[in-house]
């Protein structure tokens, strides 16, 4: 009962702050609402006993990526005058494409109702409590999901090499000039 | 959930809160005293005997000052900035194991608010959101010096988080757990991690100086260039919260250093005691270690001049991170070798 | 050139050795220096309780002297104001009336005599300039105030009280100056 109540409140708060991200006029406030949204999502993860994911969500998204977002936003000139004016046609186009995307999402998600996890019923309480812990996650990552894990690490490596290359190439150009 | 547990934890949280604030308050006093001693002076000695009422006088002064909000600042963010700084400084102490279990009123109580099984990661989470207070405060002030301070703080924190994390991984590898209680219990007696991981400790120590914005890494607030940096526009208790949160963060990071590398509440010869006496001695030993680290951090502040910003970045990215990575690889190899992988 | 103190250090920009580039030994030696200072004797003098010994020629707050019969020496000639490099002294002269001979020694006296202690640099030139041995600097300290106008000392602050004569012999009898 308390569990459901908490999760409903959290869900409402999550959706509310997520709406505020797009509704607030000021970019910095949007970023702050996004950070708050990440915290609420982490709260959901804690409720589902996935503490590792909750904390990593906070570290990576709230702690690192959003800090970089804020960092860039602070360096921008955020005057009302410098805001690009959007034509009505592009606004309409944005609304239509967003609406279509929402429709597709709804259509896709309406079919995929989560099964009520029947296999967990047979497990003991201790097993359920340890479901989202680091050890189990590590075991899964290095056995069942080893291929996606390694592929994503190669992806990160490629991104790192690419960014280093981009930085280097600029230097060469200036030397040639 | 029984009511006794809730009461117990509530009392513990309140005590921790008061201890953190009290130690932070007296750190300001001790810092001024230490600065004076290093400079052959006496330091504050007017308020009460030896000036021990100085923190109270400072607090009263902070509350009585005019609370000024700059005209073109973002009012809402300007107000919550110091709050976030204080909040993030305080919540780390929730997972710190202050001592072994004690028995009171027939109940066995844990001297830890919660034994979080990903405690080390929790520390990272708190550290990584700790920068928001400074960033928001500095940006909302609408002052170029504050903005400089905020930008410096964020880039400094992002840079040093990496080396800090990698140096911590060695400890996690050695302990085989992310829970701080397990890490402390692994270092029973004198079997501290510092004997195995001195380089890791050095990297962690330097990084925690940088994360708490202490000298020689106090670039976000350096007085000579930025006139106070992110808190240039702050006054009254909002400024007080910023300054206070720095000392709370210093206290907490000293506690973390004691836990991760110096055995937490373990002390040599602890097997001779048991029960509540052991717990008491453990807490005393733990606080002795914390105070030692606070002393060292202050001592460093009054010895070493501030880094230049490019030196800071050079140290973080080109020195500490490679050292930490090599250290981590060697540790991993040694552990794998010990477990007979080769 | 030959160094006189034998403490001259030659500055060079030769590349650092590996140990030097670690910086840690240098930091530790620096911290040892500060540690040593923690146990040194404090140089502070806690002012209201302890007072430093003043040099005999110390130049502090001024006094306008009276003679043995209690008459003011000052004749408002204005030489001190002219001599003052900081323009701190102003005065208004007045003629001595009948029956005031026991108050003022000369026939002309200073009705108003003001020294702005915020301007005064305590150089002692007023004392040098005075032909009537009326103004002297003493070893008293000018107290601090909260308002600027409280630093403008009038005759009530400067002229010595009849029952509280101020001893100026310490500064004047150092042998470096003529006898009083």
CB C168, CB C138: distance < 8 Å: yes
What is the CATH number for C127? Answer: 3.30.70.3270
- pLDDT at A120 (0 to 100): 47
Q: Is residue C144 part of a domain?
A: yes
**pTM for the whole structure:** 0.79
Residue A27 CA from chain centroid, whole number: 18
Question: What tokens appear for C57 in the block?
Answer: 């020629």
Max mean pLDDT among B113-117, B259-263, C8-12 falls in: B259-263
Q: Distance from A101 to chain B by nearest Cα, in Å?
A: 32
DSSP sequence for B234-278? --HHHHHHHHHHHHHHHHHHHHHHHHHHS-TT--TTGGG--HHHH
Banded pLDDT at B160 (limits 50, 70, 90):
confident
More confident site: A132 or C87: C87
Contact C33 B303 (CB under 8 A): yes
Quote the domain boundaries for residue C91: 62-172
H-run or E-run covering B61:
helix B54-64
CA torsion C34→C35→C38→C39, rounded to 10°?
A: -130
Q: Is residue A50 part of a domain?
A: yes
Identify the three-state secondary structure at position C16: coil
Q: Is residue A4 part of a domain?
A: yes
Quote the domain boundaries for residue A27: 1-77
Contact B302 C34 (CB under 8 A): yes
Q: Is residue A3 part of a domain?
A: yes
Banded pLDDT at A118 (limits 50, 70, 90):
very low
Q: Is residue B44 part of a domain?
A: no
H-run or E-run covering B104:
strand B102-104
What is the number of domains present in chain C? Answer: 1
Q: Is residue A71 part of a domain?
A: yes
Residue A143 CA from chain centroid, whole number: 25
Percent residues over pLDDT 90 in chain A: 11
Q: Distance from B82 to chain A by nearest Cα, in Å?
A: 15
What is the number of domains present in chain B? Answer: 1
Alpha-carbon gap, residue B235 to B65, rounded angstroms = 7
Q: Chain A partners of B156 at a C-beta cutoff of 8 Å?
A: none
Alpha-carbon gap, residue B340 to A41, rounded angstroms = 41
Place of tokens 């105030």: C145
Q: Is residue C82 part of a domain?
A: yes
Bond into C60 cis (ω within 30)? no
Q: Is residue B11 part of a domain?
A: no
Least confident of A68-72, A147-151, B206-210, C76-80: A68-72
Q: Is residue C70 part of a domain?
A: yes
Closest CA to B256 of B171, B154, B195, B157: B171
Quote the domain boundaries for residue B229: 62-100+116-338
Q: Is residue C52 part of a domain?
A: no
- pLDDT at B23 (0 to 100): 87
CA torsion C97→C102→C104→C107, rounded to 10°?
A: 50
Q: Is residue C8 part of a domain?
A: no
Cβ atoms < 10 Å from Cβ of A72:
11
Nearest neighbour of C34 by CB, restricted to B41, B42, B303: B303
Contact B155 A63 (CB under 8 A): no
Contact B125 A71 (CB under 8 A): no
Q: Is residue A7 part of a domain?
A: yes
What is the number of domains present in chain A? Answer: 1
Residue B105 scores a pLDDT above 80 = no
Banded pLDDT at A131 (limits 50, 70, 90):
low
Residue A122 scores a pLDDT above 60 = no
Q: Distance from B270 to chain A by nearest Cα, in Å?
A: 31
What is the CATH number for A50? Answer: 1.20.120.1200
Alpha-carbon gap, residue A65 to A59, rounded angstroms = 9
Q: Is residue B25 part of a domain?
A: no
- pLDDT at C180 (0 to 100): 46
Closest CA to B89 of B213, B181, B179: B213
Q: Is residue C123 part of a domain?
A: yes
Q: Is residue C78 part of a domain?
A: yes
Q: Is residue A84 part of a domain?
A: no
Mean pLDDT of the region C124-130 = 88
Model confidence pLDDT, tens digit, residues A43-100: 888 887 777 888 888 888 888 888 888 888 877 766 666 666 677 888 889 899 999 9
Closest CA to B120 of B77, B198, B179: B179
- pLDDT at B143 (0 to 100): 81
Nearest neighbour of A71 by CB, restricted to B128, B154, B161: B154
Q: Is residue C10 part of a domain?
A: no
Alpha-carbon gap, residue A34 to C28, rounded angstroms = 45
Model confidence pLDDT, tens digit, residues C41-79: 888 888 888 888 888 888 888 898 888 888 888 888 889
**Interface pTM, i.e. ipTM:** 0.78
């Amino acid at each position: 009962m308390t569990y459901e109540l908490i999760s409903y409140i959290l869900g409402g708060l999550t959706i509310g702050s997520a709406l505020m991200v797009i509704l607030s006029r000021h970019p910095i406030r949007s970023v702050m609402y996004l950070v708050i949204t990440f915290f609420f999502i982490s709260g959901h993860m804690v409720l589902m006993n996935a503490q590792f994911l909750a904390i990593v969500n906070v570290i990576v998204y709230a702690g690192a990526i959003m800090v970089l977002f804020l960092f860039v936003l602070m360096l921008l000139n955020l005057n009302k005058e410098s805001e690009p004016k959007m034509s009505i046609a592009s606004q309409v186009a944005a609304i239509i494409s967003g609406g279509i995307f929402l429709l597709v999402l709804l259509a896709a998600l309406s079919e995929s109702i989560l099964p009520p996890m029947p296999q967990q019923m047979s497990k003991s309480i201790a097993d359920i409590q340890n479901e989202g812990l680091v050890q189990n996650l590590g075991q899964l990552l290095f056995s069942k999901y080893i291929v996606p894990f390694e592929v994503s690490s190669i992806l990160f490596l490629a991104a790192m090499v690419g960014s280093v290359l981009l930085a280097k190439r600029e230097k060469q150009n200036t030397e040639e000039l | 959930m029984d009511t006794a547990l809730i009461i117990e934890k509530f009392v513990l949280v309140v005590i921790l809160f008061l201890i953190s604030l009290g130690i932070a308050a007296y750190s300001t006093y001790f810092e001024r005293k230490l600065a004076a001693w290093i400079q052959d002076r006496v330091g504050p000695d007017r308020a009460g005997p030896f000036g021990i009422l100085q923190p109270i006088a400072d607090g009263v002064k902070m509350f009585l000052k005019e609370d000024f909000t700059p005209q073109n600042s973002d009012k809402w963010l300007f107000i919550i900035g110091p709050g976030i700084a204080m909040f993030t400084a305080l919540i780390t102490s929730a997972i710190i194991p202050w001592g072994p279990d004690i028995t009171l009123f027939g109940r066995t109580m844990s001297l830890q608010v919660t034994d979080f099984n990903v405690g080390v990661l929790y520390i990272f989470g708190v550290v990584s959101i700790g920068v928001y207070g400074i960033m928001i405060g500095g940006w909302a002030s609408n002052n170029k010096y504050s903005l400089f301070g905020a930008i410096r703080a964020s880039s400094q924190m992002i840079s040093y988080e990496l080396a800090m994390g990698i140096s911590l991984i060695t400890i996690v590898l050695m302990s085989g757990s992310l829970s701080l209680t397990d890490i402390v219990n692994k270092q029973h007696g004198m079997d501290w991690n510092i004997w195995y991981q001195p380089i890791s400790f050095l990297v962690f120590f330097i990084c925690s100086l940088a994360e708490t914005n202490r000298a020689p890494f106090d670039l976000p607030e350096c007085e000579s260039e930025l006139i106070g940096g992110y808190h240039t526009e702050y006054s009254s208790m909002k400024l007080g919260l910023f300054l206070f949160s720095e000392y709370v963060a210093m206290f907490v990071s000293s506690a973390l250093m004691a836990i991760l590398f110096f055995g937490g509440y373990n002390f040599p010869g602890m097997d001779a005691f048991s029960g509540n006496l052991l717990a008491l001695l453990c807490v005393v030993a733990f606080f002795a270690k914390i105070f030692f680290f606070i002393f060292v951090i202050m001592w460093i502040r009054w010895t070493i001049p501030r880094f230049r910003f490019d030196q800071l970045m050079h140290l973080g990215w080109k020195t500490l991170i490679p050292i930490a990575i090599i250290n981590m690889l060697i540790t991993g190899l040694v552990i794998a070798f010990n477990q007979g992988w080769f | 050139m030959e160094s006189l103190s034998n403490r001259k250090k030659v500055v060079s920009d030769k590349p650092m050795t590996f140990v030097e580039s670690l910086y840690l030994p240098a930091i530790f030696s620096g911290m040892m220096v500060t540690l040593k200072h923690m146990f040194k004797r404090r140089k502070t003098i806690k002012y209201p309780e302890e007072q430093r010994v003043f040099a005999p020629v110390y130049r502090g707050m001024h006094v306008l002297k009276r003679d043995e019969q209690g008459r003011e020496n000052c004749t408002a000639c204005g030489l001190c104001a002219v001599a003052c490099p900081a323009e701190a002294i102003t005065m208004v002269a007045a003629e001595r009336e009948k029956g005031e001979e026991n108050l003022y020694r000369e026939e002309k006296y200073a009705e108003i005599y003001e020294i702005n202690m915020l301007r005064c640099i305590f150089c002692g030139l007023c004392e040098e300039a005075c032909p009537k041995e009326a103004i002297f600097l003493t070893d008293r300290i000018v107290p601090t105030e909260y308002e600027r106008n409280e630093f403008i000392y009038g005759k009530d602050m400067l002229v010595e009280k009849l029952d509280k004569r101020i001893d100026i012999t310490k500064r004047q009898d150092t042998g470096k100056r003529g006898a009083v």
